[in-house]
């Protein structure tokens, strides 16, 4: 059987230390619960490469490319300055609602740049050309289907 006043043999100072320790542990546990709450919201500084961004950042990619994009009546025109690449070193692909531009020089790994495509673009009509040191991409908008049934 444990005596209720078992701490008396250790002195009053030991009892105070024990109470302080309990308070510190209680504060620590409360702080840990707060950290668990914030864990999902802050995961450290962003480590996203400048061009290659995941789907979670696709809106930011579109903003990043906005200086190159002009919205015309029936198409979007994207003009990207090319400094080091020629026409033969560039390939375009349209896949999964994004435009993939692949740059490759001889004896080097290819570099890809991704640009999300708006929903109103027809991917099959995408065309591109290199002119005056610029890559010009034309993304044609889908024509609305206006059909009227007369009965």
Q: Do both 62 and 136 map to the same domain?
A: yes
- Is the C-alpha dihedral spanning 84, 121, 60, 77 positive or negative? positive
pLDDT of residue 34: 54
Tokens describing residue 20 = 């302080």
Q: Do both 17 and 67 map to the same domain?
A: no
Distance CA 146, CA 148 (A): 7
Model confidence pTM above 0.75: no
Q: How many domains does the chain have?
A: 2
Give the confidence band of 7 by pLDDT, cuts at 50, 70, 90. low
Q: Do both 33 and 63 map to the same domain?
A: no
Neighbours of 119 (CB within 10 A): 8
Q: What is the pLDDT of residues 23-72, one digit of tens each?
A: 887 777 666 655 544 444 444 444 444 444 444 444 444 444 455 667 67
């Amino acid at each position: 059987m444990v005596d209720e006043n078992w701490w008396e043999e250790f002195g009053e100072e030991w009892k105070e230390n024990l109470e302080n320790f309990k308070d510190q542990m209680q504060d620590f546990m409360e702080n840990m619960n707060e950290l668990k709450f914030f864990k999902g919201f802050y995961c450290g500084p962003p480590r996203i490469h400048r061009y290659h961004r995941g789907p979670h950042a696709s809106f930011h990619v579109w903003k990043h490319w906005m200086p190159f994009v002009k919205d015309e009546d029936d198409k979007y025109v994207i003009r990207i300055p090319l400094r080091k690449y020629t026409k033969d070193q560039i390939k375009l692909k349209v896949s999964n609602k994004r435009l993939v531009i692949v740059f490759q020089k001889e004896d080097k790994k290819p570099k890809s740049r991704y640009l999300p495509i708006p929903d109103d673009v027809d991917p099959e009509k995408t065309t591109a050309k290199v002119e005056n040191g610029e890559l010009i991409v034309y993304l044609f908008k889908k024509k609305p289907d206006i059909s009227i049934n007369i009965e």
